[in-house]
Amino acid sequence: MNLSRTRTMPVLLVLGAGAPLGALGALSGKSDSPFFHVTGVVFSGGWSWACFAFVVGYTRRSKIESACLASAGLAVGVVVYYVLKWLSPVAPIGMSSDGIEPDGISAGIIAWGIAALLFGAPMGLFGNLARIPGIGGLAFRLLVPLIAFVETSARLEAEAASAGKFVEVTWDTIRVLAVLAAVALVGHMVWEWVRSARKRESRA
């Protein structure tokens, strides 16, 4: 019984975490609050969904479990996102708030659900491999900051003029934080390496 609970709880937690991921992406744009505007910009980006899958994989010891749970969590997020878009009370009759007809909701769920399964699994696996200490796992640990930087840079170049100053500042902030995160990860690895080297020298 205890073993069954031990196996079941992580699955339920991941699936439960996928729901607010989709909800935040769908509902943040409904408020005029700056906080919700920032939240909407963050969770409308693919990097935040990739980060979710990565973190799921990082928390699991099994590579297979990391890949499967990451995909499942993203799939739940996709379903919640589109269902909430469809149920949005501010949408015109017969339309979602993004102008998607109800029939398009199921198409969106299918398309992005497949994408969640295809891309969630490798991101979950990469998150698991990021557990490797030292330089062996560094490339995997740098993956999310790299995705965030590349995506926001591309969106700034392509959409900054039409997105507005507030969104542009948010994207710039994400880029800066991504660079700082990458520097911190590299610095932490170097510090661990130096500390290990000093310990070996003291024992010699």
Q: Which residue has the tokens 């509902």?
A: 27
Residues 97-112 have a mean pLDDT of: 67
Question: In this predicted model, what pLDDT tens digit does every residue of 127-163 receive, in sequence order?
Answer: 999 999 988 999 999 999 999 999 999 988 887 777 7
Nearest partner of 151 among 18, 48, 27, judged by Cα:
48
Residue 57 has a CB neighbour count (10 Å cut-off) of 29
The number of CA neighbours under 13 Å toward the Cβ of 201 is 6
Tens-place pLDDT, residues 20-45: 888 888 777 666 777 777 888 888 88
Is residue 93 over pLDDT 70? no
Per cent of the chain over pLDDT 70 is 85
- The answer to whether 78 and 111 have CB atoms below 8 angstroms apart is no
Contact 29, 40 (CB under 8 A): yes
pLDDT in tens, 70-88: 999 999 999 998 888 877 6
87 phi/psi in degrees, rounded to 5: -85, 0
Kind and range of the H or E run holding 147? helix 143-163
pTM over 0.85: no
Q: What's the pLDDT at 6?
A: 63
Per-residue pLDDT tens digits for 44-54: 889 999 999 99
Query: What's the DSSP call for residue 99?
Result: S
Answer yes or no: are the C-beta atoms of 23 and 84 closer than 8 Å.
Answer: yes
Whether residue 12 has pLDDT greater than 50: yes
With tokens 């299918």, the residue in question is 110
Token pair for 40: 């909407």
Q: What is the pLDDT of residues 170-201, one digit of tens each?
A: 899 999 999 999 999 999 999 988 888 888 77
- Mean local confidence (pLDDT), 49-70: 94
